[in-house]
Amino acid sequence: MGWWNALILGIIQGLTEFLPVSSSGHLEIAKFILGDESLPKDSLLMTIVLHAATALSTLFVFRKEIIEIIRGLFQFKWNDETIFSLKIVLSMIPAVFVGLYFNDFLESLFSGQLLLIGFMLLITAALLFYADRAKTSEKKVSYFDAVVIGISQAIAILPGISRSGATISMALILKIDRGQAARFSFLMVVPLILGEMSKNLIEGSINYESSVLFPLIVGFIAAFITGVLACTWMIKLVKNAKLSYFAIYCAIVGVFAISYMLFFA
């Protein structure tokens, strides 16, 4: 893998992890455009590194909130931050269940299924368009809301369904405050990413060669920088109700993917 491919993938991962346009779908489309079958299907290490970069960018953007959560946990205080962290744990359960029991099936969907990705992007577009019209509210995330948003995150494991788009849209449909919706959506994925990374490291399923060190570094830096920018930007966009722009984008990319597979593949 060349460093330029790693740079492109890092930028794609950093942007699409937070912008509601499906990072998995875009990475699969990137494989077609770059013409490299090793991206990222046969390069588990690169995939892990890029996800680690976006997880780190989330921790960086929400560093103050995370410090407060950790402080409350260590001081055994039952405060708003402790309750918030419990809701994060609840939201993870559906995705963990799907990952444990349907992992092989899900992996089969990440092998050039561009037609599926196209249709899933159209679903993402419809969801974003509908959520953008949800009424503004100051409601906080309840325990029930956390589970429902967690289910939407589990569904978003499908390539082409945006994780941030699905979780933020579901939160807005549940009439949760827009700032709370963005905060909850971005923080709830961090434990899952770190858990998946730990699982792969423990299983020893990562193959490392010194020749890929530079591309890994390039990809990591690109994903981290663009991740910080995209995360910060997305919080502002959610608060200002701009999701319909991304709905249009997802619809265009979805139609492109479907048309390519039907008429050119």
Q: Is the pLDDT of residue 191 over 90?
A: no
Given a cut of 50, whether residue 40 has pLDDT beyond it is: no
Asked if 88 and 191 touch (Cβ cutoff 8 Å), the reply is yes
* 28: CB partners within 8 A, 6+ apart: 110, 112, 113, 114, 117, 159
Residue at 51: amino acid letter: H
DSSP state of 136: P
Q: What percent of the chain has pLDDT over 90?
A: 36
Place of tokens 């995705």: 95
CA–CA distance, 100 with 103 (Å, rounded to integer): 6
- Distance (Å, rounded) from C-alpha 150 to C-alpha 152? 5
Distance CA 166, CA 211 (A): 37
What b/e sequence results for 3-35 when a residue is b if at least 16 CB atoms lie within 10 Å of its CB, and e otherwise? bebbbbbbbbbbbbbbbbbbbbbbbbbbbbebe
- Which amino acid appears at position 42 of this protein? D
Least confident span in 47-51, 143-147, 174-178, 179-183: 47-51
For 90-132, strand residue ranges (E) read none
Whose tokens are 């369904």? That residue is 161
DSSP characters over 227-246: HHHHHHHHHHHHHTT-HHHH
CA pair distance 208, 177, nearest whole angstrom: 44
**Residue boundaries of the structural domains of the chain:** 3-263
Q: What is the pLDDT of residue 112?
A: 63
Q: pLDDT tens digits for 118-156? A: 999 999 999 999 998 888 788 899 999 999 999 999 999
Other CB atoms within 10 Å distance of the CB of residue 246 = 22
Question: Would you say the C-alpha torsion 227, 8, 265, 44 has a positive or negative sign?
Answer: negative
Contact yes or no for 115/258 (Cβ under 8 A): yes
DSSP reduced 3-state for 40? coil
- Name the phi and psi angles at 260, rounded to 5: -60, -45
Say if residue 261's pLDDT is above 80. Answer: yes
On the question of pLDDT at 163 being above 50, the answer is yes
- How high does pLDDT run on average in the chain? 84
Residue with more model confidence, 265 or 165: 165
